[in-house]
Amino acid sequence: MREFIRRLEARGDLLVVDKEIDPYHELAAVTLQAQKKWGKPILFKKVKGTSFPVVTNVYGSRSRLAEVIGIQPEDFCRQWSNLSSLAANNPSGMPETPQQSIQYVDVSLSDLPLITYSDRDGAPYFTSSMFIAKDPETGIGNLSYHRAMFISDKELRCRLAPRHHLTLYHEKAEKMGQPLEAAMLIGAPAQAFLTAAAPLPYDVDELKVAEQLRGAPIAMRKCKHINLEVPAETEIVIEGRFLPNVRRPEGPFGEFMGYYVPVGPNAVFEVLGVTARQDAIFHSILCGSAEEVLTLELSVSANIYQRLNAALPGIVNVACQPFVNHAVIQIDPQFEGHARQVMLATIGAEPIWAKVITVVDQDVNINDMDDVMWAILTRSRPDKDMMIIPDTPSFYRDEAKDHWGRLLIDATRPWGREEEFRRKKIRLADDINLADWFGEK
């Protein structure tokens, strides 16, 4: 991660704050406003109550995520859905950090930046924590993200969502009457940040795929308190274990959908030790920001793209914009009713997230919601081209059924009338350099 940060700083793409900032709400507030205005990564050098600098919004743009794995931003669906075959000659250009050159120190959990994000959060939270663990039966490794609520130097409480691989590991260990050993990685290798969010099969080790993305082995080191190895370059490692058959109150917490998740019984992580690089940088993610939601959007888009391509012709690209619950499918229409087939197939391809499904033509920018809405407003009839599928489950954490039902929108050009809906074009618009006319502004 730090090599990527250095690269960003060298080309002027890193905002550096030297003024001391308070991790109790102030850091989150400054992050929110700076992300809205500039969209750049931010390095806070002086954080009250800790010696660790904090970096945030490192992976908060499509172009930066694409740079990590050496692809073009528009190629995410095609490339990310085939992550396991992307091994190349170090596509990111980042050299492996030799393990022997890194010095580690023991610290306490409370030595780390304890950041309180949303107004009603029940405590400070670790939001960028990437958990590494192994299936207690097969030994296959897994990387995944889960929020962790700070209780004390010895205890964290974690939200393990249903059906996530780490949740299944924890449940297997509980049936054996055993704790599940795990480590929390803060500031892990940049490629691992992507693979931990990718829709990889249960029996695929995300860390091995991260090595394929890098095109080189990731140096590992043994943990001090548990029987696991972690990437040696990771900035901070929190070692511990999930206690079997123990649940304690966790929350409230301002989640990515923009609401508070209420207090509920969640998993207890016993902290056994914390190690940090001698000059470690603490990675923070503002929940609900592009740095969190974009990786989810991309993984859901890739999953839909891959499954639709296996079933139907003419699938060009997929994006989940402006939020992960809206799937925008770009197609090259092959026959009358093609868009309707795509919409219905998407429900089966993505049963959790695709609450609203919009299908558009190739002349629409699926990453620009203004353009998508233009297509909806000029190419679809509400009474003919929109369908509501009632009483259909969607998002899994939805006991009140607020996300049940689907809205399907065919915003493609009416079949047989394509020429009438040809977009106007301003000749020479792509060739004009405004500096020739107005000077540098």
Q: Is 151 inside any structural domain?
A: yes
Per-residue CA distances from 54 to 250, 280, 283 (Å): 24, 9, 6
Report the C-alpha gap between 303 and 423 in whole angstroms.
30
87: pLDDT strictly greater than 50: no
Q: 120 lies in a domain? A: yes
Residues 194 and 134 in one domain: yes
Residue 258, pLDDT > 60, answer yes
431 lies in a domain? no
Containing structural domain, residue 368 = 291-416
Contact 381, 375 (CB under 8 A): no
User: How many domains does the chain fold into?
Assistant: 2
Q: Domain containing 295 — which CATH number?
A: 3.40.1670.10
Domain boundary among 255, 280, 305: 280
Position 425 pLDDT exceeds 70: yes
Is 276 inside a domain boundary?
A: yes
* 343 in the same domain as 233: no
pLDDT in tens, 265-291: 999 999 999 999 999 999 999 998 988
Look up residue 183 and give its DSSP letter: E
| 440 domain residue, yes or no | no
Quick one: which H or E segment has residue 48?
none
Domain match, 133 and 179 both = yes
| DSSP assignment of 370-424 | HHHHHHHHHH--HHHHEEEE-S---SSS-TT-TT-SEEEEE-SPPTT-GGGGPPP
pLDDT range class, residue 177, cuts 50, 70, 90: very high
Residue 309: its H or E element: helix 290-311
CA 209 to chain centre: 16
Asked if residue 295 and residue 329 are part of one domain, the reply reads: yes
Report how far residue 323's alpha carbon sits from residue 326's, in angstroms, rounded to the nearest whole number: 6
Asked if residue 286 is part of any domain, the answer here is no
> Residues of the chain with pLDDT > 90: what percent?
69
Does residue 164 share a domain with residue 17?
yes
Same domain, 77 and 204: yes
Is 141 in the same domain as 120?
yes
Cβ 67 vs Cβ 91: under 8 Å: no
**Over the chain, what is the mean pLDDT?**
90
Q: 210 in a domain, yes or no? A: yes
Under 8 Å CB-to-CB from 267, ≥6 apart: which residues? 157, 158, 159, 160, 170, 242, 243, 246, 247
Tokens linked to 54: 């904090």
CA distances to 49, 165, 201, 212 from 184, in Å: 21, 15, 21, 22
- Asked whether residue 439 is assigned to any structural domain, the reply reads no
- Do 306 and 260 have their domain in common? no
Contact 255, 245 (CB under 8 A): no
Number of CB atoms found within 10 A of residue 166's CB: 23
pLDDT of residue 82: 61
pLDDT digits (tens, 9 = 90+) for 335-394: 999 999 999 999 999 988 899 999 999 999 999 999 999 999 999 999 999 999 999 988
3-state secondary structure of 358: strand
Q: What pLDDT score does 94 carry?
A: 45
Pairing of strands 155-158, 264-277: antiparallel
Choose one of 228, 256, 280: the last residue of a domain. 280
Q: Note whether 89 and 172 are same-domain residues.
A: yes
Chain centroid to CA 185: how far? Answer: 15
3-state secondary structure 253-268: EECCCCCEECCEEEEE
Do 84 and 185 sit in the same domain of this protein? yes
pTM, to two decimals: 0.87
* Residue whose structure tokens are 């990310």: 80
CATH number at residue 96: 2.30.110.10
> Is the model more confident about 83 or about 268?
268
Confidence of residue 83 (pLDDT cuts 50, 70, 90): low
pLDDT exceeds cutoff 90 at 91: no
369 shares a domain with 344: yes
Does 345 lie in the same domain as 276?
no
Lowest mean pLDDT among 205-209, 252-256, 288-292, 433-437: 205-209
